[in-house]
Structure 1
Amino acid sequence: MANESTNWPDLAIGLYDKLTGKNAEITYVFEHLEVDVPKGVNSSESAKWKLNGTVKISAKEAHK
Protein backbone atom coordinates (compact mmCIF):
# COMPACT_ATOMS: atom_id res chain seq x y z
CA MET A 1 0.00 0.00 0.00
CA ALA A 2 1.49 3.34 -1.05
CA ASN A 3 -0.20 5.43 1.68
CA GLU A 4 0.45 3.02 4.55
CA SER A 5 1.31 4.78 7.84
CA THR A 6 4.42 3.66 9.68
CA ASN A 7 3.87 5.45 13.00
CA TRP A 8 1.03 6.60 15.30
CA PRO A 9 1.22 10.35 14.50
CA ASP A 10 1.02 9.67 10.74
CA LEU A 11 -1.88 7.27 11.28
CA ALA A 12 -3.80 9.85 13.35
CA ILE A 13 -3.12 12.64 10.83
CA GLY A 14 -4.21 10.45 7.93
CA LEU A 15 -7.42 9.43 9.70
CA TYR A 16 -8.31 13.03 10.57
CA ASP A 17 -7.51 14.19 7.01
CA LYS A 18 -9.94 11.58 5.63
CA LEU A 19 -12.71 12.66 8.04
CA THR A 20 -12.23 16.44 7.80
CA GLY A 21 -15.26 18.07 6.27
CA LYS A 22 -17.51 15.23 7.35
CA ASN A 23 -18.41 16.65 10.79
CA ALA A 24 -16.08 14.10 12.39
CA GLU A 25 -14.86 13.80 15.96
CA ILE A 26 -11.99 11.49 16.89
CA THR A 27 -11.45 10.32 20.47
CA TYR A 28 -8.60 8.14 21.72
CA VAL A 29 -8.94 6.55 25.15
CA PHE A 30 -5.98 4.94 26.93
CA GLU A 31 -6.31 3.30 30.34
CA HIS A 32 -3.30 2.31 32.44
CA LEU A 33 -0.96 3.52 29.72
CA GLU A 34 2.73 2.66 30.04
CA VAL A 35 5.28 4.39 27.81
CA ASP A 36 9.02 3.80 27.54
CA VAL A 37 10.63 7.24 27.18
CA PRO A 38 14.33 7.78 26.41
CA LYS A 39 16.20 8.99 29.51
CA GLY A 40 18.05 11.53 27.41
CA VAL A 41 18.89 12.64 23.91
CA ASN A 42 20.65 9.83 22.02
CA SER A 43 20.22 7.52 25.04
CA SER A 44 19.62 3.81 24.61
CA GLU A 45 18.24 3.64 28.16
CA SER A 46 14.59 4.37 28.80
CA ALA A 47 12.34 5.23 31.71
CA LYS A 48 8.83 3.79 32.04
CA TRP A 49 6.11 6.41 32.48
CA LYS A 50 2.86 5.07 33.92
CA LEU A 51 -0.36 7.03 33.65
CA ASN A 52 -3.09 5.81 35.97
CA GLY A 53 -6.51 6.78 34.78
CA THR A 54 -7.62 7.83 31.33
CA VAL A 55 -6.13 10.15 28.73
CA LYS A 56 -8.58 11.49 26.15
CA ILE A 57 -7.45 13.30 23.03
CA SER A 58 -10.22 14.76 20.92
CA ALA A 59 -10.15 16.57 17.61
CA LYS A 60 -13.28 18.22 16.33
CA GLU A 61 -13.78 20.30 13.23
CA ALA A 62 -14.92 23.87 13.99
CA HIS A 63 -18.03 25.05 12.18
CA LYS A 64 -18.42 28.67 11.10
Structure 2
Amino acid sequence: MSEAEAPDETTTWPELAISLYDRLTGRNAEITYEFEDMAVDVPSKTGEDPDYAHWRIDGTLTVTTREKE
Protein backbone atom coordinates (compact mmCIF):
# COMPACT_ATOMS: atom_id res chain seq x y z
CA MET A 1 0.00 0.00 0.00
CA SER A 2 1.45 3.34 -0.98
CA GLU A 3 1.72 6.21 1.47
CA ALA A 4 -1.07 8.05 -0.41
CA GLU A 5 -3.35 5.02 0.04
CA ALA A 6 -2.54 4.53 3.72
CA PRO A 7 -5.42 5.39 6.06
CA ASP A 8 -5.19 8.36 8.39
CA GLU A 9 -4.56 7.57 12.04
CA THR A 10 -7.81 6.61 13.78
CA THR A 11 -8.27 8.10 17.23
CA THR A 12 -11.85 7.12 18.20
CA TRP A 13 -14.04 4.00 18.02
CA PRO A 14 -16.59 5.71 15.73
CA GLU A 15 -13.79 6.70 13.32
CA LEU A 16 -12.59 3.09 13.30
CA ALA A 17 -16.10 1.79 12.54
CA ILE A 18 -16.65 4.33 9.76
CA SER A 19 -13.25 3.59 8.23
CA LEU A 20 -13.88 -0.16 8.25
CA TYR A 21 -17.35 0.26 6.74
CA ASP A 22 -16.04 2.61 4.02
CA ARG A 23 -13.34 0.13 3.02
CA LEU A 24 -15.70 -2.87 2.85
CA THR A 25 -18.91 -1.43 1.42
CA GLY A 26 -19.56 -2.46 -2.14
CA ARG A 27 -16.95 -5.18 -2.15
CA ASN A 28 -19.26 -8.00 -1.03
CA ALA A 29 -16.93 -8.38 1.90
CA GLU A 30 -17.42 -10.74 4.77
CA ILE A 31 -15.17 -11.11 7.79
CA THR A 32 -15.70 -14.04 10.15
CA TYR A 33 -13.92 -14.37 13.49
CA GLU A 34 -14.21 -17.35 15.81
CA PHE A 35 -13.38 -16.86 19.47
CA GLU A 36 -12.96 -19.30 22.28
CA ASP A 37 -13.46 -17.70 25.69
CA MET A 38 -11.85 -14.41 24.69
CA ALA A 39 -11.85 -11.42 27.04
CA VAL A 40 -11.29 -7.84 25.89
CA ASP A 41 -11.11 -4.63 27.91
CA VAL A 42 -12.45 -1.93 25.59
CA PRO A 43 -11.35 1.64 26.42
CA SER A 44 -13.99 4.38 26.49
CA LYS A 45 -11.62 6.87 24.84
CA THR A 46 -8.09 7.37 23.63
CA GLY A 47 -5.61 9.20 25.80
CA GLU A 48 -5.02 9.07 29.52
CA ASP A 49 -7.22 7.38 32.16
CA PRO A 50 -10.03 5.82 30.08
CA ASP A 51 -12.75 3.71 31.67
CA TYR A 52 -12.98 0.14 30.36
CA ALA A 53 -15.88 -2.11 29.40
CA HIS A 54 -15.09 -5.81 29.89
CA TRP A 55 -16.33 -7.89 26.93
CA ARG A 56 -16.34 -11.70 26.85
CA ILE A 57 -16.79 -13.47 23.52
CA ASP A 58 -17.23 -17.20 23.04
CA GLY A 59 -18.46 -18.08 19.58
CA THR A 60 -18.56 -16.58 16.10
CA LEU A 61 -18.77 -12.93 15.11
CA THR A 62 -19.51 -12.24 11.43
CA VAL A 63 -19.33 -8.78 9.88
CA THR A 64 -20.88 -8.38 6.43
CA THR A 65 -21.44 -5.29 4.30
CA ARG A 66 -23.38 -4.46 1.18
CA GLU A 67 -24.51 -1.33 -0.59
CA LYS A 68 -28.13 -0.22 -0.49
CA GLU A 69 -29.87 -0.75 -3.79
Interval of TM-score (by shorter of Structure 1 and Structure 2):
0.3 to 0.5
Bigger Rg, which one: 1
What is the TM-score normalised by the length of structure 2? 0.43
